[in-house]
Amino acid sequence: MKKVVVYDSTLRDGAQAQGISFSVEDKLKIVERLDRLGISYIEAGNPGSNPKDLEFFDRISRIKLRHAKVIAFGSTRRVNKTVHEDANVKSLLKADTPAVAIFGKSWDFHVTDILYTTLDENLKMIFDTISFFKNKNKEVVFDAEHFFDGYKSNPDYAMKTVKAAVEAGADSICLCDTNGGSFPDEVYTITSKVVDEFKVDVGIHCHNDTGMAVANSIMAVKAGAVQIQGTINGFGERSGNANLCTIIPNLQLKAGYDCVPADCVPDITAAARYVSEIANVIHDERAPYVGKFAFAHKAGMHADAVNKNSVAYEHISPESVGNERLFLMSEVAGRSAVLNLVNNIDSTITKSSPETKVILEKLKELEFEGYQYEGAESSFEIVIRKVLGKYHPFFQLGEFKVVVNEPSISGANSSAMIKIKVDGQDEITADEGEGPVNALDKAVRKALERFYPQIREMKLTDYKVRVLDSNSATAAKVRVLIESTDGKEVWTTIGVSTDIIEASWKALVDSIEYKLIKDMEAEKKNM
C-alpha cells in the first residue's frame, strides 16, 4: 500500500469556522484524540496570532504522542523585513515544535495587489524564511497559498514560488486551493506538473467552496501527492475544508492507500463525534462514513435486501469505520426493518409472526396521526413493548399544571406542579424553569428521583417542535422531538398533540421510561 501522510489542521483551519472557538484545554484534548486515530501531523495554530496558542505550544511540548507530530503554522517574513526581526518568525521559533508550516503567496495577483510588493521580493521572502528554519534544524512544510489560482493566472510565476521553496530546503510543498474554486481535472493536471518537475514530497490543501474539496484531494493523490491536509468533519471558514473523515476511509478502504494504522480506521466515527462534541456543534448525521444515517435504511425492499446480504445497499461494512447499521422506522418500512428492532426485545419473533404484522399496522396508524419514528426509535421501541405485552409503566401521572408568567429576575418564567404515583405511593412536586417545558421537565425529575435516583444522570440535550399542518394555524398538531443523554447513550423520543405542552409531556415520559428500561435490562444482565 502506498503511504499518504495525513496532516490535520482542525485546530487552525477548523477553528476559523463560524461558531467554533477552542480553548487551550479543548486543543489538548483534540490533539490526544487525533493521535489515537493515527494522524501523522497536527497543525495546532499560529503562535504569532494570539497568546492562547503560545500557551498551548508550551503545554503540548510536555505531552508524549504516539503517532502525531505537532506543527506550528505561520507566514513568510514580512515585506522588506529581515527574518531575524520579524515578530511572526520569532513566535514560530518560540513554539519549539519539530516542524513548521510556512505559507507564502503563489498567485501574482496576491503579491502585487494584496501584499503590495514585487514578484522578486516575494520569492526572497519564501527563500529567506524557509532557509532560516532549515538552519534551525526544523522540518519545513511550504504551503503554496492560492497555488491553483496562481497557476491558472501565471503558471511560470507559480512554479517559481515552489522552486524558491525547494531550493531553500523545504521538506514538502503543499499546493493550496485556498479559494476552493478548482475542479478535480484541474487539480489533477496541475498537481501532476508539480510532481513531475520537483523531486520533493507534494501535498494538497483544499477548501470546499464548490463542494469538491474531497474529490480534489483524492485527485491530487492520484496525480502523485503524498500528503493530504484537511480537518475533522470538514470544519473551516466559509464552506469548510476537505473532510478527513471522508478522505481517510475513501483512500484506505477503497483505493488501497495507507493513511493511518489499519487498527485505527474503526475509530474514525468515534473521533469525528468527539471533535464535534468538543467544538460544541451538532454532528452532521448525514456525513459519509461517520454520520448516524450513513448506513441507514428506510425503504422496506432495501432493508430486506441488506438483511440478506449487506452489500446489496452498503458499499462497505459500517463496522469498518466504527459506525453501525440503522433501520429507520416509517410507514414505508417493511417487515425486515421492523423485525430488527423487535428482535432486540424478543428474539423469538420472526417475519411471519402475527406480532410483526400488528406492529407494522400500529406504525402506519401512528404515522398517520403525525408521529415520525425515523429519528425517534426509542419511542417506537416503547410502542413495540406495549404491543408485545413487555411494557411495564414505571409511574402513573395523576395530573400536572403549568403556569407561564412574565420573566423574572432569576430568568425563570414558568412553573410546573405535578402529581405522580409510583407503586401506590403518591408524590407531588413543583419547580420553576425557563419556559413551560423546562419547568415540567424539572418537576417530573424531582418527583421521580426519590424512587429512581439514576434519573439524576439524565439531561435534555435538544428540543425540536414542528407544526404539522400550518393551514390549521393555532389548532394545528405539533410534533415534539426530545433528545436526551445519560453520558453513555443518546436517545430521541417523540410526542404529538394539538397542545404543545401535552406533546412535550409525551416525549418526556418516553425519554424517562426509555432510560429506566435500559437500566433495568442492564441490571438483569449483570445479575
3-class DSSP state of 62 = coil
Q: How confident is the model at residue 155 (pLDDT cuts 50, 70, 90)?
A: very high
Higher pLDDT: 347 or 338? It is: 347
**Residue with more model confidence, 262 or 309:** 262
Orientation of helix 87-95 relative to helix 51-60, angle to 10°: 30
Asked if 246 and 111 sit in the same domain, the reply is yes
Least confident window among 31-45, 50-64, 377-391, 401-415: 401-415
Residue 485's pLDDT is 84
**Which residue, 316, 326, 417, is CA-closest to 378?**
326
Average pLDDT over residues 282-296: 87
Domain of residue 491: give its range.
Answer: 456-527
Last residue of a domain, one of 279, 304, 320: 279
The predicted pLDDT at position 377 comes to 80
Identify which has the larger pLDDT, 12 or 306. Answer: 12
- The answer to whether residue 417 sits within a structural domain is no
Give the pLDDT of residue 129. Answer: 97
What pLDDT does residue 392 have?
A: 85
Average per-residue pLDDT in the chain? Answer: 89
The pLDDT of residue 292 is 81
18 lies in the same domain as 163: yes
Name which residue leads in pLDDT, 503 or 309. 503
Does 59 share its domain with 157?
yes
Q: What is the CATH number of the domain that holds 489?
A: 3.30.160.340
Last residue of a domain, one of 247, 279, 311: 279
109: helix, coil or strand? helix
Could you report the per-residue pLDDT of 419-466, keeping only the tens digit for each? 999 988 999 999 988 888 888 889 998 999 989 999 988 888 888 888
Interval 7-34 mean pLDDT: 93
Q: Are residues 361 and 471 in the same domain?
A: no
Confidence of residue 338 (pLDDT cuts 50, 70, 90): confident
217 shares a domain with 140: yes
Judged against a pLDDT cut of 60, whether residue 334 lies above it is answered with no
Residue 406, in any domain of the structure: no
Question: Is residue 229 domain-shared with residue 160, that is, in the same domain?
Answer: yes
Across 124-142, average pLDDT = 97
Average pLDDT over residues 334-360: 78
CATH of the domain at 171: 3.20.20.70
Residue 147's nearest CA partner among 178, 114, 103 is 178
In tens, the pLDDT along 482-498 reads 988 887 778 889 999 98
Mean pLDDT of 168-193: 97
- CA 134 – CA 128 distance, rounded (Å): 10
pLDDT of res. 467: 82
Report if residue 443 sits inside a domain.
Answer: no
Within 8 A by CB and 6+ apart from 347, the residues are none
Asked if residue 447 is part of any domain, the answer here is no
> Are 136 and 208 in a shared domain?
yes
Pairing of strands 478-485, 490-497: antiparallel
The grid coordinates listed for 242 are 476537505
At 341 the pLDDT is: 75
- Confidence band of 54 (pLDDT split at 50, 70, 90): confident
256, 321: one domain: no
Q: What percent of the chain has pLDDT over 90?
A: 56
Let me know if residue 449 belongs to a domain: no
Q: Which of 145-154, 271-280, 331-340, 479-488 has the lowest mean pLDDT?
A: 331-340
Mean pLDDT of 43-66: 85
| pLDDT of the residue at 139 | 97
Do residues 321 and 187 share a domain? no
Share of residues in the chain with pLDDT > 70 (%):
92
Whether 242 has a pLDDT exceeding 90, the answer reads yes
pLDDT digits (tens, 9 = 90+) for 410-428: 566 889 999 999 988 999 9
The whole-number pLDDT of residue 526 equals: 78
On whether residue 396 sits in a domain, the answer given is no
Q: Tell me which of 254, 279, 304 is where a domain ends.
A: 279
pLDDT in tens, 191-240: 999 999 999 999 999 999 999 999 999 999 999 999 999 999 999 999 99
Task: Assess whether 98 and 207 both reside in one domain.
Answer: yes
- Residue 281 gets which letter from DSSP? -
Contacts of 105 (CB under 8 A, 6+ apart): 111, 114, 115, 122, 145, 146, 150, 161
Residue 369 lies in a domain: yes
Do 368 and 341 fall within a single domain? yes
Number of domains in the chain: 3
Contacts (Cβ under 8 Å, ≥6 apart) of 114: 105
E-strand ranges in 477-516 read: 478-485, 490-497
Residue 320's pLDDT band (boundaries 50, 70, 90)? very high
Assess if residue 362 is contained within a domain: yes
pLDDT over threshold 60, residue 302: yes
Residues 190 and 333 in one domain: no
